[in-house]
Structure 1
Amino acid sequence: MRSTVFTDEENVMQLQVALDVLDLPSALTLANQVSEHVDILELGTPLVKSVGIGAVSAIKAAHPDKLVFADLKTADAGELEATLAFEAGADLITVMGAADDDTVRGAVSAGRKYGKSVVADMIAVVDGRVERIREVAELGVTFVEIHAGLDEQARPGYTIDTLLEDGRRAGVPFSIAGGVGIGTIASVREAGATVAVAGGAIYNAPDPAAAAYELKKRATA
């Protein structure tokens, strides 16, 4: 994928890898291992906080042919934070779906200025999630990430099916993050997701490259 802006022209679900590590050498190593098999390289929030926005520039320089996603989880000052990431080389950033509408609008404004994409992260939005997904879509985000965080996934009885059902019901472009793996990615594709976000299924695998290859194959089957 060589576009600097997210596109889904072929209507094929894309694969995003979450680089959920805490230092830049580890992020670069993981990106190098899996880049051939993924469409989007995501700098996880802990990585951005640990290393700083310069990590975005480093990953983009190493992989200019990939979309680089800065998972900022912006909750305020949307235009300012989005601008910082876009100027550092990010192609996509996240703003919290639970944030004030003006925060979302600010991030979207920066996206339009730089010709880049803004994703609304719905983590921690549970009650009225489908309604809020539709609201932030109207505010101009490129797509919505229906996301269960690590703490939510660790609770007894967690299932990705709730995320998938909300995606089906919302009727807007969405990605799924939270439990995407070999056993679930076909269901993510069948639900109509634009992007499948895989973290631990790739970076915790004995062979991250092989895991990414298998997920990509199933994402596009």
Structure 2
Amino acid sequence: MAKLQVAIDLLSTEAALELAAKVAPYVDIIELGTPLIKQEGLKVVTAMKAAHPDKLVFADMKTADTGALEAEMAFNAGADLVTVMGTVDDATIKGAVAAANKLGKKVVVDTIGVKNRVQRAKEVSAMGVAFVELHAGLDEQALPGYSIQTLINEGIEAGVPFSIAGGVNANSIKDVLAAGAEVAVAGGAIYSAADPAKAAEALKAAFN
């Protein structure tokens, strides 16, 4: 069954834990954003896993080199999943996957900056990653004419396990799920809402 992932793009451990406590009943995966990890270090991963041991904790490392080392660091801190950039050398992805297999964890490839997301999704899936995150970053989403439908279409075309990140909200989530996404990643739709718990609950309702 598809999972709902909340992307926590806040900048303190305390704020991240506060938000997670509100939305945990409705999400399956708690993602700690790259700026949060850069600000707080891997201690935020450890704190989140301790607070929510029943949830998958996703460390958005966006690793670009030393795949095995950075993956192992995050896994040892409590992460269940880590990201490696799809633009990197295959050796970096394979190294992270090897570390994941050793520790019983999983690697996700992030496609920010990848020119041909469909082709790269097929390539990295063959390397043993859990799924490919078809991801339009905040900068890309701000460009004129951006549409999440592009990511949805790419997921269908790629035919590999994928998640969608880049504008998942109450209006788009049903299309994301209908396309066969393994994971729907919601960030601002939850953390920027007046009532994050209610927003997460509404998104989760789409899964039923």
Matching of residue 191 in structure 1 with residue 179 in structure 2? yes
- Which consecutive unaligned segments of at least 5 residues does structure 2 have? none
Letter matched to residue 101 of structure 1: D
The counterpart of 1:101, out of the listed 81, 90, 101, is 90
Counterpart mapping for 1:161-180 below 5 A: 161-180=149-168
- Which consecutive unaligned segments of at least 5 residues does structure 1 have? 1-11
Deviation digits for residues 84-127 of structure 1 (CA, Å, limit 9, x no counterpart): 0000010000000111000000000000000001000011112x
Counterpart mapping for 1:12-91 below 5 A: 12-91=1-80
SS in 1 for 2:143: coil
CA drift of 1:13 comes to 1.3
Letter matched to residue 148 of structure 1: A
CA drift of 1:190 comes to 0.5
Matching of residue 116 in structure 1 with residue 105 in structure 2? yes
Counterpart mapping for 1:133-148 below 5 A: 133-148=121-136
Structure 1 CA distance, aligned partners of 2:162 and 2:51? 28
Structure 2 CA distance, aligned partners of 1:147 and 1:131? 14
SS in 2 for 1:140: coil
SS in 2 for 1:180: coil
Matching of residue 204 in structure 1 with residue 166 in structure 2? no
The counterpart of 2:202, out of the listed 186, 190, 214, is 214
TM-score (norm 1): 0.93
Structure 2 CA distance, aligned partners of 1:106 and 1:87? 16
Deviating runs (4+, > 4 A) in structure 1?
Answer: none
Structure 2 CA distance, aligned partners of 1:106 and 1:85? 14
SS in 2 for 1:65: coil
Deviation digits for residues 160-186 of structure 1 (CA, Å, limit 9, x no counterpart): 011011100001000000000000000
Structure 2 CA distance, aligned partners of 1:144 and 1:168? 12
CA drift of 1:33 comes to 0.5
Letter matched to residue 63 of structure 2: T
Structure 2 CA distance, aligned partners of 1:162 and 1:99? 23
- Aligned-residue sequence identity (percent) comes to 62
SS in 2 for 1:152: helix
